[in-house]
């Protein structure tokens, strides 16, 4: 079985976000970039399935500009087998990414797709579900545990009040939540080995996909700044303020 893992390059989660002064977006020039944390979890889960003998090959896909190749290399160094880079410089909406991925699924016929539940830049939380819709596959979103059982997969999902378990026919689309696993760091020998692993470069035209955006970002602003409040001396002053000034307890 092949596993397809779509990954996204985003601003590093520990970097402070700066809104551009012309309010057209967020500053990404000279900002440290990383693999989206939920995508790292997806790559890790695929590798664990391969190590457990449940999968033969892991293909990572990234859609975006030339530097996405670095992110693909990171996944290859973790243990994925080969990469597909769909080169595009403009911002692509989740629907378009899902369309590109659905064409790659037609070509590669993976038994499982594992993606992050959302990217921490756009916070859309859409691509996995959309890909499931376009391919008519079942979806196991926000997974904290997966177990392959013959031609089915049992997925434990993080839902608002706790956990839900569902069973899906395979092929299926899984999206990862935080508790699924702890991603590994790539070792130096594996980083060296990853340099020899193949990355196929494509463009949206190769797939005949119209990626024209449906959404237009009119402006991006900073959220209202919170002012530092006051320091209280002790608990009784704090409780008094919370009761009488803020009225929250």
Partner 1 sequence: MTTLFFIEHANGKVSDQSLKAISATKDLGEEVHGILAGTDIESVVEEASKISGVSKIIHIENDEFSNILAEKLTSAILDISDNYNYFCAAATTTGKNVMPRVAAKLDVSQISEIIGVESNDTFIRTIYAGNAIATVQSSDAKKVLTIRPTAYKAAEASDTGCEVEKINPENIPNISEYISEELTKSDRPELTSAKIIISGGRGMQNGENFELLDKVAAKLGAAVGASRAAVDAGFVPNDYQVGQTGKVVAPELYIAVGISGAIQHLAGMKDSKVIVAINKDEEAPIFDIADYGLVADLFQVLPELEGAI
Q: Which of residues 109-128 bind partner 1 (CB under 8 A)?
A: 120-128
Residue 148 CB, nearest distance to partner 1 (Å)? Answer: 15
Residue 130 and residue 108: Cα distance in Å, rounded?
Answer: 18
Residue 9 binds partner 1 (CB under 8 A): no
Q: Residue holding tokens 């307890």?
A: 249
| Given 53, 189, 229, 244, the residue binding partner 1 (CB under 8 A) | 229
**154 binds partner 1, rule: CB under 8 A:** yes
Task: Give the DSSP letter of residue 27.
Answer: -
CB of 164 to partner 1, least distance (A): 5
Give the shortest CB-196-to-partner 1 separation in angstroms.
Answer: 32
CB closer to partner 1, 111 vs 138: 138
- Tell the burial category of 75 from Cβ atoms under 10 Å away from its Cβ (0-12, 13-18, 19+): buried
Closest to partner 1 by CB, 42 vs 132, is 132
Contact segment (CB under 8 A) with partner 1 among 50-58, 81-89, 107-115, 135-143 equals: 135-143
Residues 34-63 that bind partner 1 (CB under 8 A): 37-38
Could you say whether residue 161 binds partner 1 (CB under 8 A)? yes
DSSP 47-83: HHHHHTTS-SEEEEEEEESTTHHHHHHHHHHHT--EE
Enumerate residues 6+ apart whose C-beta is below 8 A from 217: 24, 25
In the complex, minimum distance from the CB of residue 12 to partner 1, in angstroms, rounded to a whole number: 10
Q: How far is the CB of 21 from partner 1 (least distance, A)?
A: 13
Using alpha carbons, select from 131, 187, 91, 124 the residue that is nearest to residue 6. 131
Q: Return the number of the residue (198 or 224) whose C-beta is nearest partner 1.
A: 224
Closest CA to 16 of 32, 5, 34, 4: 32
Residues 186-225 as x/- pattern, contact with partner 1 by CB under 8 A: ---------------------------xxxxxxxxxxx--
Tokens of 183: 């991603």
Give which of 58, 81, 69 is closest to 5, Cα–Cα. 58
Distance CA 208, CA 99 (A): 10
Question: Which tokens hold the place of 78?
Answer: 């973790």
The yes or no reply on residue 179 touching partner 1 (CB under 8 A) is: yes
Among 9, 73, 85, 157, binds partner 1 (CB under 8 A): 157
Listed ranges 12-20, 107-115, 188-196, 200-208: which one lies at the site for partner 1 (CB under 8 A): 12-20
Strand partners, 60: 5, 83
């Amino acid at each position: 079985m092949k596993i397809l893992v779509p990954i996204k390059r985003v601003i590093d989660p520990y970097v402070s976000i700066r809104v551009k002064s012309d309010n057209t977006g967020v500053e990404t020039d000279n900002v440290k970039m990383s693999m989206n944390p939920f995508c790292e979890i997806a790559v890790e889960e695929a590798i664990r399935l391969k190590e457990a003998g449940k999968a033969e090959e892991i293909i990572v896909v990234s859609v975006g500009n030339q530097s996405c190749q670095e992110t693909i290399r990171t996944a290859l160094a973790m243990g994925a087998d080969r990469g597909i880079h769909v080169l595009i410089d403009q911002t692509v909406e989740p629907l378009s990414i899902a369309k590109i991925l659905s064409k790659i699924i037609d070509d590669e016929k993976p038994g499982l797709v594992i993606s992050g539940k959302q990217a921490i830049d756009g916070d859309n939380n859409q691509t996995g579900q959309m890909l499931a819709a376009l391919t008519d596959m079942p979806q196991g979103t926000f997974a904290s545990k997966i177990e392959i059982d013959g031609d089915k997969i049992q997925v434990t999902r993080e839902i608002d009040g706790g956990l839900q378990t569902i069973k899906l026919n395979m092929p299926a689309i899984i999206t990862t939540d935080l508790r699924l696993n702890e991603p590994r760091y790539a070792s130096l020998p594996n980083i060296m080995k990853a340099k020899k692993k193949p990355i196929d470069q494509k463009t949206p035209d190769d797939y005949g996909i119209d990626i024209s955006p449906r959404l237009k970002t009119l402006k991006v602003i900073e959220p209202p700044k919170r002012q530092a409040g006051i320091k209280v001396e002790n608990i009784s002053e704090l409780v008094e303020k919370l009761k009488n000034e803020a009225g929250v307890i």
